[in-house]
A and B are shown apart, each in its own frame.
Chain A
């Protein structure tokens, strides 16, 4: 990446760790056979995949056999939600999720609603947290499937997965967790957490893009119907030839994360504090999310500033708007609107996300650039009347 870029968008994607890259290069040359083949070369590839499953299983404290490889979190979410809800449909068609979920979740719920499922969208509080009693009140006798994200991708809010999962377990409701922003970043012990399905992706924690996994708990009634067809791989839950080098990379990323989550969190907390302390005195600034949330994400809004111009004025800092904007016209973030932010607040939101390689100097620079940009755009803006 160019040296004049300051990358503060680690929630969108992370660079591949050099150790991951090394492992992928090695595997791409040495384990190229189809892992479904029973000859010696195929068995070698099969062993490489098995090792990666052990590494990822070690990070999550689960058996490798509970993991299904996918192309990433979007596919894992689709498989878990569409596959899980359909698998349980004969028992009931009421399904529950939050308004602040990622599109990879909400769009699947919308699709299931078209199929005849009855969807309840539960609301978060102003910080983005889902209270267990609010959640419990949304459940019904025919509720069969729930999906709640672990760490919110826009605000970094961490849900009380243990409490929410316990409520589901009591009622034998299939409980899916979108862990795309959590796996490899916060400690997750699936041996003790009451989670049935967990989606993850490699590129959010220094692994390669194009590879993810779905955890399916080994307990009665916990299963998903396939959404892809074409072979017997992975117990027919997710057919297709496995990308051995990508899987090996994900496994290595998981092993690295498992050995350093506490250090990573301490580093991210320091970075976030420096960044927030550098901008918190700006008139009209507000924090979107929970101060006790994941420290890798800092989402802020500021009064009376146009978000796209703010992001543009921040260059060479690479951050994200709180909007659904890319090159199109901005639309205020539906996540922030769901937390009660006004359109004006939501459209000005910037999500800074820091990572393992981020330095104190970079976030100090970012804070300074943010202060300058806000001051400049305010100076440029007209008063309300001529």
Chain B
């Protein structure tokens, strides 16, 4: 029998991604790799991420993991973006081992967004 490949958390995040969309007027990055297309936009004030939004084309784990990343990073210091790792996501979100490469794409996008903020300042 096939095990359910989706945890309850993946199901919840996929069903209602609260951070889907665009942060109007914010910094933006776009990454496409490993069967993933990801756009992140964010606004920040006083070194803190105010709004972080995403648009994603990918499997349910990618969409859920991106939503989880946005939820975790919103309200955090902008400098956290460049230190973000895929392990941070996978700590709380089980991802099949064959999909870990896709989660690294999320890491790349988040770090790239952090770089954008650093370049701006």
Contacts and interface: CB of A to CB of B under 8 A. Distances in A.
B70 interface: no
Interface residues of B, number: 25
Interface stretch (B52-60, B71-79, B83-91): B52-60
Contacts of B98: 328-329
A381 B2 contact: no
B37 A381 contact: yes
Contacts, number: 57
A306 B41 CA distance: 22
B32 to A, nearest CB: 8
A380 B3 contact: no
B2 A327 contact: yes
B69 to A, nearest CB: 15
B35 interface: yes
Contacts of A329: 35, 98-99
Chain B interface helix/strand/loop/mixed = mixed
Q: Which one of A328, A329, A383, A386 has the greatest number of beta carbons of chain B within 10 Å?
A: A386
Given A312-B6, A327-B2, A380-B55, A385 B60 contact: no
A382 to B, nearest CB: 3
Interface of A: 304, 306, 308-309, 312-313, 326-330, 377, 380-386
A384 to B, nearest CB: 8
A383 B41 CA distance: 13
Given A306-B58, A312-B6, A328-B96, 19 more contacts: A304-B57, A306-B59, A308-B59, A309-B63, A312-B14, A313-B14, A327-B2, A329-B98, A330-B59, A380-B55, A380-B56, A381-B56, A382-B38, A382-B57, A383-B39, A384-B30, A386-B29, A386-B30, A386-B39
Per CB-CB distance, the 9 closest pairs between chain A and chain B, nearest first, are A386-B30, A382-B39, A382-B55, A327-B5, A381-B57, A386-B28, A308-B59, A312-B60, A329-B98
Contacts of B41: 386
Chain A interface helix/strand/loop/mixed = loop
Nearest to B58: A306
A377 B14 CA distance: 11
A26 to B, nearest CB: 28
B49 interface: no
18 contacts: A304-B57, A306-B58, A308-B60, A309-B58, A309-B63, A313-B14, A326-B2, A327-B5, A330-B35, A377-B57, A380-B55, A381-B56, A382-B30, A382-B38, A382-B57, A385-B30, A386-B39, A386-B41
Nearest to A315: B11
Q: Which one of A306, A326, A330, A384 has the greatest number of beta carbons of chain B within 10 Å?
A: A306
A385 to B, nearest CB: 6
A377 to B, nearest CB: 8
Contacts of B55: 380-383
Contacts of A308: 59-60
Contacts of B3: 327
A381 B30 CA distance: 11
